[in-house]
Each structure stands twice: as structure tokens, then as C-alpha cells.
């Protein structure tokens, strides 16, 4: 492309995202709606700062010259241990026409189909408007069902209707971002959402399982919640503070990940998001105990600025960076990664 996808995205996302050279939440504090962190933006910044504190032990004397980035999570074969996080609401989070010509359907297609093309899995968002989930569902179908629709923690019959709609895609895994229970953009639109008890979560997991689909939740930040999730029968959990967009003053996900992974102790896969930008960041999270990572804002920038091509290009950046980081820490593949590579 004559312009990079980041350059194009910067033009299209003005006022919503500055597409900073380093996406660390400092310029966009309080931009919710938008792509920033809630309030002071401290939770967004904490994700970046927590990863910055993690250091890798460089090793160059070994025989792992051509490491493999492939892995499997929840039965999904992945070219690298990365999923695109569920983000929706293009018109109020990512720029408005005519400045941003990318609509919800084109955005979902770019993320989910671009990920499928590159050998990983994209997740689809949800919102008050049915358009967000419908757009994600169409992209998942176009990707031979290889995508993960996420449903918000709605209240009442609306929740079950959305679960049914998501399951109709034939997806192998369905997600719920329980951390959206306090998302200001949903409150502003007046639709009820709420935290879920262990019993409610078990009912939802059972409903999803009856359809032959696995169920994962995103938004676990404590050992207590991790134990509730495991006991409720979820198939995987994502350590996440919703990109710092729901509660000011939380720790970074890399700070709480090791304790949660230790408490889960392999009973279900533990994934993580929050501040992951590069292949090196991916490796750090794996070393801290995650089986895979979700990445949010960088995929939005790639999709808005370059469509499917931008998404594929960003995934290739991640793959190259992860391959190099694996080689320089003596890891022959993802299964070789562990806390021993941390300095």
C-alpha cells in the first residue's frame, strides 16, 4: 500500500484514536466512547507498564534455530497463539463518516476474515444495536465458522436471545465479556447489563454446551473469580480489565496473570489481553502462564486503516516478532515457553 495502514487509520480515526507510535493510553485518557481508557486512563496504562516490567533472559547458545509459532487452544489450530479481541461499535469508537468510510460490517469482515486468512481466529463484538453481532456473525460464516462471537452480560430474555443468535453461526467457541458489566458506552445507550453470579454463569455455560459449543469468559482479574469460573464449568477464561475501559485504578493484566494461572493449575486454558502489541509481548504473556493472548486496539487500527490486508500485515508483524523472540530465548516452539525464560 502507498500509505501504511497506520497512516490511513490515523486519518480516519481522528478524535477517537490518535494511532500513537506507541499505543500506551497516555494521549487518549478518558476517551470513552472512543479508544481510550476510562477516567484517568490508569488501568489502560497499567497494562502497558506491567508488561514493561517483565524482562526476558536472552539466550543465543542453543539449537532452536527455527522455532515454530503454531499451537492449539480450545481445539482451535492457530498459526500463532493470538486471537483478535472482540471490539465493536465502529461509529462511536473508531470514527464517523465521511472521515471513516469503514462501517460495522466491513470492520468485522476485515478482522475476522483477515484473521482466518492468516491462520488465527478473530472474535466478534456485541452491543445494544443488533448490527454489531449481526456483522460479526456474517463474517464468522464467511470464515467457515472459524470465529468467536462474544455476547455481553445482558439481563433477562435479551441475553438468551443474543446467545441463540451467536450460536446460530456454528462457531466452535462462544465468548462472554463479563467485564463489560460496567461499560459506560452500554450504560449511555440505556440497555441493562450486570455482573453474573456463579450460578448464573453455570446456567449460561450449560446452555452453550447443550449446543455442542465451548464457552469462554473474558474479564477475570482475581483468583476468586477464576475459581468461580472453573467451578461454573466454563471452558476457558481470559484475564482482562477490558483494556482499561470499565474501571479506573486496576492493576495491569500481566501483574495478576501468574497468580490466576497458578490457581487454575491447568484445569482450563488461561488466556490474557491488555497491552499486548508485539511478538515479544506475546512471548512475555506466555511465559507468565497464558496459553494464548487476545489483542484489541492494534487490530482495530489495522482493520480501519487496511481492511483484511491490514489485518494480515499486522499478524505477519506479530509472527516475525514472536519467531525472533522465541529464537533469542532458546525456545523451539510454544510448548517450550515457560517462566524459565524470564530474567
pLDDT tens track for 277-333? 999 999 999 999 999 999 999 999 999 999 999 999 999 999 999 999 999 999 999
Give residue-wise pLDDT tens across range 4-17. 999 999 999 999 99
Q: Residue 183 above 90 pLDDT?
A: no
Using the predicted structure, report yes or no on whether residue 1 has a pLDDT greater than 50.
no
- Whole-number Cα distances in Å, 189 to 26, 32, 38, 78, 183: 27, 13, 17, 36, 10
pLDDT band (50, 70, 90) for residue 189: confident
Other beta carbons less than 10 A from residue 332's beta carbon:
16
What mean pLDDT is reported for the chain? 95
pLDDT grade for 184, boundaries at 50, 70 and 90: low
What pLDDT does 89 receive?
92
Task: Indicate if the pLDDT at residue 29 is higher than 70.
Answer: yes
Measure Cα distances from 182 to 16, 38, 228 in Å.
Answer: 20, 11, 19
| pTM score, whole prediction | 0.96
Is 62 noted as a catalytic residue in this protein?
no
Quick one: pLDDT at residue 147? Answer: 98
Per-residue pLDDT tens digits for 264-277? 999 999 999 999 99
Peptide bond before residue 5 is cis, with ω within 30 degrees of 0: no
* Contact (CB, 8 A) for 150 and 125: yes
Q: Is the pLDDT of residue 45 over 80?
A: yes
pLDDT at 78 over 60: yes
Q: What is the pLDDT, as a whole number, of residue 20?
A: 96
In the prediction, which pLDDT does 2 show? 54
How sure is the predictor about 55, in pLDDT bands with cuts at 50, 70 and 90? very high
Q: What percent of the chain stands above pLDDT 90? A: 92
Give the confidence band of 185 by pLDDT, cuts at 50, 70, 90.
Answer: low
Q: 108 in helix, strand or coil? A: helix
From 49, 25, 52, 50, select the one nearest 37 (Cα to Cα): 25
**pLDDT tens across 80-100, in order?**
999 999 999 999 999 999 999
Q: Which domains does the chain have, with CATH numbers?
A: 79-330 (3.20.20.70)
Non-local CB neighbours of 283 within 8 Å, separated by 6+ positions: 56, 322, 325, 326, 329, 331, 337, 341
Reading the block at residue 243, the C-alpha cell is 483494556
Instruction: Dump pLDDT digits (tens) for 113-159.
Output: 999 999 999 999 999 889 999 999 999 999 999 999 999 999 989 99
| 40 in Cβ contact with 29 (< 8 Å) | yes
Mean pLDDT for 31-56 is: 96
> What would the grid cell of residue 229 be?
469460573
Distance CA 277, CA 19 (A): 13
What phi and psi, each to the nearest 5 degrees, are found at residue 96?
-120, 155
Kindly give, in sequence order, each residue whose CB lies less than 8 Å from that of residue 29, ignoring residues fewer than 6 positions away.
36, 37, 39, 40, 41, 44
Q: Which of 116, 191, 242, 340 is catalytic?
A: 242
- For residues 6 and 302, what is the distance between their CA atoms, to the nearest angstrom? 7
| Residue 58 CA, distance from chain mean position | 28
Which band of pLDDT confidence, cut at 50, 70 and 90, is reported for residue 182? confident
Burial class of residue 96, CB neighbours in 10 A (0-12, 13-18, 19+): middle
What's the longest Cα–Cα distance across the chain? 59
Q: Can you read off the three cell numbers belonging to residue 149?
A: 462471537
CB contact set of 338 (below 8 Å; sequence gap of 6+): 287
- Is the pLDDT at 3 greater than 90? The verdict is no
52 vs 69: CA distance, rounded Å: 22
Q: Which three cell numbers stand for residue 207?
A: 446452555
Amino acid at each position: 500500500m502507498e500509505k501504511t495502514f497506520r497512516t490511513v487509520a490515523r486519518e480516519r480515526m481522528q478524535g477517537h484514536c490518535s494511532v500513537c507510535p506507541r499505543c500506551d493510553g497516555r494521549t487518549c485518557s478518558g476517551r470513552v466512547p472512543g479508544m481510550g481508557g476510562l477516567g484517568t486512563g490508569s488501568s489502560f496504562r497499567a497494562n502497558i507498564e506491567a508488561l514493561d516490567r517483565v524482562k526476558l533472559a536472552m539466550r543465543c547458545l542453543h539449537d532452536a534455530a527455527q522455532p515454530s509459532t503454531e499451537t492449539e487452544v480450545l481445539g482451535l489450530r492457530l498459526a500463532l497463539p493470538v486471537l483478535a479481541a472482540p471490539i465493536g461499535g465502529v461509529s462511536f469508537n473508531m470514527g464517523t463518516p465521511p472521515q471513516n468510510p469503514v462501517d460495522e460490517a466491513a470492520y468485522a469482515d476485515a478482522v475476522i476474515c483477515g484473521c482466518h486468512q492468516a491462520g488465527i481466529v478473530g472474535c466478534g463484538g456485541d452491543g445494544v444495536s443488533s448490527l454489531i453481532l449481526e456483522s460479526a456473525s456474517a463474517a464468522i460464516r464467511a470464515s467457515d465458522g472459524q470465529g468467536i462471537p462474544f455476547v455481553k452480560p445482558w439481563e433477562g430474555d435479551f441475553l438468551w436471545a443474543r446467545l441463540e443468535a451467536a450460536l446460530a453461526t456454528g462457531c466452535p467457541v462462544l465468548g462472554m465479556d463479563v467485564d463489560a458489566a460496567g461499560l459506560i458506552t452500554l450504560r449511555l445507550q440505556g440497555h441493562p447489563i450486570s455482573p453474573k453470579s456463579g450460578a448464573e454463569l453455570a446456567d449460561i455455560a450449560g446452555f452453550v454446551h447443550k449446543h455442542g459449543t465451548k464457552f469462554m469468559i473474558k474479564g477475570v482479574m482475581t483468583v476468586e473469580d477464576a475459581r468461580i469460573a472453573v467451578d461454573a464449568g466454563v471452558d476457558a477464561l481470559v484475564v482482562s480489565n477490558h483494556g482499561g475501559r470499565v474501571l479506573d485504578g486496576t492493576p495491569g493484566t500481566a501483574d495478576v496473570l501468574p497468580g490466576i494461572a497458578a490457581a487454575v493449575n491447568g484445569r482450563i486454558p488461561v488466556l490474557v489481553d491488555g497491552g499486548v502489541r508485539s511478538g515479544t509481548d506475546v512471548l512475555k504473556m506466555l511465559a507468565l502462564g497464558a496459553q494464548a493472548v487476545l489483542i484489541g486496539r492494534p487490530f482495530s487500527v489495522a482493520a480501519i486503516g487496511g481492511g483484511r490486508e491490514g489485518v494480515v500485515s499486522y499478524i505477519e508483524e506479530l509472527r516475525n516478532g514472536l519467531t525472533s523472540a522465541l529464537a533469542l530465548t532458546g525456545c523451539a516452539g510454544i510448548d517450550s515457553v515457560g517462566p524459565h525464560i524470564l530474567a
